[in-house]
Structure 1
Amino acid sequence: MKYTLTLIGNSATSLGDELAAAASGLLPSPAAPDWLAPGLACDIAFEAEDGKAIEAGLRKHFEGARVDLSVQTSGKRRKKLLVADMDSTIIQQECIDELAAELGIKERIAAITERAMRGEIAFEPALKERVALLKGLELASLEKVYRERIVETPGGRALVGTMRANGATCALVSGGFTFFTERVGNAVGFNVNQANTLLFADGRLTGEVAEPILGRSAKIEALVKLREELKLAPHDTMAVGDGANDLGMIEEAGLGVAFHAKPVVAEVADARIDHGDLTALLYLQGYRQQDITG
């Protein structure tokens, strides 16, 4: 069977002919490296019976090299639908933890967030518990958090801009809050966004979130609904996230990507990006440096 190995460097680790040659030496019947971006990303085609077994061997060999790698079946790799998580994926923060910082309880809430993202506790009750602790927070504080604390993950605008320029639909689907997804989605360039709605009274949080709470199942449903509306095959879709509530959509997508993810996600995703930025998702699809916009 024909496979393609994609090697991706990052700001701290450049790729060169030596590393590509080392990877080729571990592959059966490898083709010459095809450089998608000089010094940053390349494809190497090869033939094997079990591509994932080859990938496991490569990961072991390059452990500690701070290089991302992925083995996919060769053929059409460009996706027509991207469904992305927001917190710790498209942005570098967990919004609810930053809201908690405004009340001086960030450590308390962040501990619950971490357990939920690792899959140690159920998402929905964990969200209710954390939102209840935010009761009384002013709307102005949410504006301040977005303005001063929220930072986009590098490569996000390039990922969305390039995919949209090539006809793909991009959806931001979060277990977080519409207050942030609307702003982040518009800034990064997503077609649509979806999240939970915080409830306010007299300009302050009530400590409640509108029902039904959108968690793991809602992300799967969003992917399936968009896929059906766009009349796409499963292999035309990509999902990316970092936490346990992203597992379902990552498993449902044609290419599920764990991005700087918790172990429970990295273990099951089709591909994992541990070191690079979000442009790595373009190289996974075979885009070349000159194709990238945004």
Structure 2
Amino acid sequence: MTHVATLIGAPGAQALTSHLLAAAAQRLPGAGEAIVLSAGEAADIPFAPGAAHGNRDDGAFADAAYCRAAVSVLRLGLGGAPVDIFVQPVEGRRKKLLLADMDSTMIGQECVDELADFAGLKEMVAEITERAMRGEIAFEPALRERVALLAGLDAGVVDKAIQERITLTPGGRALVQTMRAHGAYTALVSGGFTVFTARVGEAIGFHENRANILEIENGRIAGRVAEPILGKAAKLATLKELTATHGLTHHETLAIGDGANDLAMLEEAGLGVAYHAKPAVAAAAQARVDHGDLTALLYAQGFARRDFVA
């Protein structure tokens, strides 16, 4: 079997029934028996695309276009069942580098919006954030505009936001710790601020974190972010840099994010995953998670629930 389709439901939903797995297998050429990764939640179905084409071996079935087409066929065949689907070659599915966005990906919030709430400006700032994440406006000027609205806030609101507002996305620590245990390098790379990524990165267990510097003067937010701003181009550059630094190939990398400023790194990674993402990002990314939590990325690499590192 050269390829594998991984089906993943939301934790606890028990969406993966034997009937659903059988229906999926019927749409995959040369499908083998399903391998349960977590009962009712995740399973692999190995298959051989060449079985439908006289076993031809010209590499035509190993590319991303074929895998995306196979995902579409499976989605249609499963009648809107609440499951996420990954289709990829078996070889190389375990990744050695993880790059992850922070806001609305590794945490459930947008940090700049939470800071703005302390100034009574959350609704205004959140609207700008949403437009930037959808790709309707450029990220860098939008960040400068939002940060300017925070000018004068006591810097202590950062600690308050972390303690009272910020929540880690379910499955994030298992994702990072399990990949680390199997030799992968992990980096949190955010268009947000280092005052958040340093704490979030440590809590989850990333090797390193990169983000923008929120300028503080005399104990208050200055309303400025240090230049140059870490945006779409910088995220892509970080992926390329870490790939080279660790002597990896393109195919050994995994990136995850939800916004337009993540799309370049998602497209460059060996496996780029849109996580509960904005519509344009989900449509453009190689793969998407709409129902599962962050452990979906472990199932996509062939890890069973029993393999997870807490």
Alignment of 1:180-259 (within 5 A): 180-259=196-275
Letter in 2 for 1:30: A
Query: How many Å separate the matches in 2 of 1:271 and 1:236?
Result: 15
CA RMSD of aligned residues (A): 1.2
Contact 1:220/1:248, CA 8 A, preserved across alignment = yes
Q: What amino acid is the match of 1:33?
A: A
Report the Cα distance in structure 1 between the residues aligned to 2:76 and 2:151, rounded to whole angstroms. Answer: 48
* Alpha-carbon distance in 2 for matches of 1:284, 1:58: 16
- More moved, 37-46 vs 181-190: 37-46
Which runs of structure 2 are paired with 1:1-294 in the superposition (5 Å)?
2-11=2-11, 13-14=13-14, 15-48=16-49, 49=61, 50-294=66-310
> Distance in 1 between the 2:78 and 2:285 partners?
19
Equivalent-residue separation in structure 2 for 1:170 and 1:52 (angstroms):
26
**Change beyond 3 A, Cα 1:51–1:221:** closer
- The answer to which of 57-66 and 196-205 deviates more is 57-66
- Distance (Å, rounded) in 2 between the aligned partners of 1:110 and 1:187: 25
Contact 2:195/2:213, CA 8 A, preserved across alignment? yes
Q: CA deviation at 1:290?
A: 1.4
AA at the equivalent of 2:106: I
Instruction: Verify the 8 A CA contact 1:80 1:237 in the aligned structure 2.
Output: yes
Give the SS at the match of 1:115.
Answer: helix
| Alignment check: 8 A CA contact 1:13 1:66 kept | no
Q: Is the 8 A contact 2:23 2:78 kept in 1?
A: no
Q: What is the alpha-carbon distance in structure 2 between the residues aligned to residue 220 and residue 8 of structure 1?
A: 28
State whether residues 31 and 45 of structure 2, in contact with CA within 8 Å, keep that contact through their aligned partners in structure 1: yes
State which drifts further: 258-267 or 51-60: 51-60
Displacement of 1:146 in angstroms is 0.6
Counterpart-to-counterpart distance in 2, 1:52 and 1:223: 23
Give how far 1:61 is off: 2.8
Pick which of 122-131 and 50-59 moved more.
Answer: 50-59
- Distance across 2 between alignment mates of 1:245 and 1:53: 25
Shift of 1:267: 1.3
Unmatched tracts of structure 2, length 5 or more: 50-60
What TM-score, normalized to structure 1?
0.97
CA contact (8 A) 1:4 1:73 kept: yes
Percent identity, aligned pairs only, is 57
Post-superposition offset of 1:12:
5.2
Query: In 2, Cα distance between the equivalents of 1:107 and 1:211?
Result: 26
Is 2:23–2:77's contact at 8 Å kept on the other side of the alignment? no
2:37, 2:12 → 1: CA distance?
A: 18
Matched letter for residue 40 of structure 1: E
State the AA in 1 paired with 2:230.
L
Q: Check whether the contact 1:139–1:204 (CA below 8 A) recurs between aligned residues.
A: yes
Could you list the structure 1 runs, at least 4 aligned residues long, displaced by more than 6 angstroms after superposition. Answer: none
